[in-house]
Chain A
Amino acid sequence: MSSIKIRTKRLNNTTQIRTLITHPMDNGRHKDKHGKLIPAHHIQQLWVKHNDELITTCEMGGSISKNPYFDFLLNGGAEGDNVNISWVDNLGHKDSKTHIIK
């Protein structure tokens, strides 16, 4: 199952893109129950594409909350358009998902 959930909503002249990603977002400062530091594991970059055109790049550190949520507002956007969201984390894991605006 993909780690990315995408919801879009067409408003008057804009389209709201909401995304929720399943990711631990460990910043390397928390300790587990044995008192050992949990190594950093967080998303570094996130890309949002609309019909294969890059519309937003987001760079982040470990200070974004666990299971990050983002929303963006796209000018325009029509039924049947593609929205693709992909991310890469500091350990090199990646994921990507494409959503079609309804």
Chain B
Amino acid sequence: MSKSRRKFIKQFFSITAYSLSLTTGLLRSSIAMAEWKKEKFQASSYKEIINKLYKNSIFTESRKIHFSRLPKVAENGALVPITVTSTLKNVAKISILVEKNPRPLIAEFYLSPSMAPHVSARFKMAKHSRVIVLVEAEGKFYKKSQYVKVTKGGCG
């Protein structure tokens, strides 16, 4: 009995030490393998995401963010292509949001300094909406949006 308890305590401490070392390691790296946050992707309005997750940061409209391949009219809402490029320096994060989707946050890309600010993806749109791209570079926030009309919705 006492032996197994000793064993348990030993194991417990080694595990906590290991997880502690892991978390401190994670904190150092900005693009660390953090846990997927449910509340971000379950948030149901664009405002909620800005308020809660970006803590009301001010996003300045930027001409240094460029969209290509994003159509003005998307024929199929289940497959809307987007390519985001930027001439901003040290881009750390690119987020794609669709304002009127039931779940506005589409994806977030964390880029290391060895990546060029260029990301492509394909996403779903429920109806006509603004597509908003948020870019974080050198601790500042930028955004660009484009209105996209959808002929056939793709969100169920």
Contact = CB atoms under 8 A, between A and B. Distances in A.
A1 B39 CA distance: 34
B4 interface: no
A14 interface: yes
Interface string B89-119: 0000000001001110111111110111111
Interface residues of B, number: 40
B116 A64 contact: no
Contact of A61 (B105, B117, B118, B156): B105
Given A31-B156, A54-B33, A68-B122, A63 B101 contact: yes
Please report whether the interface of chain A is mostly helix, strand, loop or mixed according to DSSP. strand
A26 B122 CA distance: 14
Contacts of A50: 114
Interface string A24-66: 0001011100000000000011010010011111111111111
Given A56-B109, A72-B115, A27 B29 contact: no
B31 interface: yes
A56 B33 contact: no
A100 interface: no
Given A54-B29, A59-B107, A70 B114 contact: no
Contact of A63 (B31, B32, B106, B111): B106
Interface of B: 29, 31-34, 36-37, 40-42, 78-80, 83, 98, 101-103, 105-112, 114-124, 154-156
Given A56-B112, A57-B109, 18 more contacts: A29-B156, A31-B156, A45-B33, A54-B32, A54-B33, A56-B111, A58-B108, A59-B107, A61-B41, A62-B103, A63-B105, A64-B124, A65-B80, A68-B122, A70-B120, A71-B119, A72-B111, A73-B116
Interface of A: 14, 27, 29-31, 44-45, 47, 50, 53-66, 68-76
15 contacts: A27-B155, A54-B29, A54-B31, A56-B110, A57-B33, A60-B106, A60-B108, A63-B105, A63-B106, A63-B123, A66-B79, A69-B121, A71-B118, A72-B111, A72-B119
